Structure 1
Amino acid sequence: MARYDMSSLDCGALGAAASGAVLLQLGMMHAIGRAVPVNRVEAHKWFNLAAREGVAEAARLRKELALEMTAEEIAEAQRAARRWLGLN
């Protein structure tokens, strides 16, 4: 996956109403290991949530990241996104 520069990130308090832009930045943090360990499952989860909010870049990055993941990892990320939304 391509590396992106995220020099600063100010997420504030997160909740169910987090903006798509914040969700995208969380995905980037986990995808590139900025301030957290690289975690493809977490990155996919956040990209998925951002894409749900209409962020086209998140949908593109989620698709790119999924090419590097197993079916089990993708399923785990999808379950995590549903849990974050309170659907499971």
Structure 2
Amino acid sequence: MARIEIENAEMAALGAANNADILFEMGMMYATGRECEVDMVAAHKWFNIAAIKGCARAAMLRSEIAEAMTKADLARALREAREWMTCH
């Protein structure tokens, strides 16, 4: 069930490629575990993308999350965000 919800969330983000507010909400979903497991790598990824699209609040939360992440997790989040931006 959770996998289906996450896939639906990913599909929603695809349609939101230019909407920083929706991308910010994706970050909040993963950061808080709303309708999914908490996943700080995914949260950072979505906050990063939202920040790139102009959301100042996302940039702030991205920085806060980054402080608590390992270097490997941070690198993974940055890589995933870059891959998403390349495709969308």
Flag whether TM exceeds 0.5 (same fold): yes
> How do 1:62-81 residues align onto structure 2 when only pairs under 5 Å count?
62-81=62-81
Q: Which residue of 2 aligns with 1:37?
A: 37
1:17 CA drift (Å): 2.5
Q: Which residue of 2 aligns with 1:28?
A: 28
Residue identity (%): 46
Q: Once superposed, which parts of structure 1, at least 4 consecutive aligned residues long, lie more than 4 Å away?
A: none
Q: Distance in 2 between matches of 1:72 and 1:11?
A: 23
Deviates more, 1:62-71 or 1:11-20: 11-20
Say yes or no: does 1:47 pair with 2:47. Answer: yes
1:50 CA drift (Å): 0.2
How does the TM-score come out when normalised to structure 2?
0.80
Q: CA RMSD in A?
A: 2.1
How does the TM-score come out when normalised to structure 1?
0.80
Looking at secondary structure, tell me which structure has more helix per residue: 2
Which residues of structure 2 form unaligned runs of 5+?
Answer: 1-8
How many residues align? The count is 78
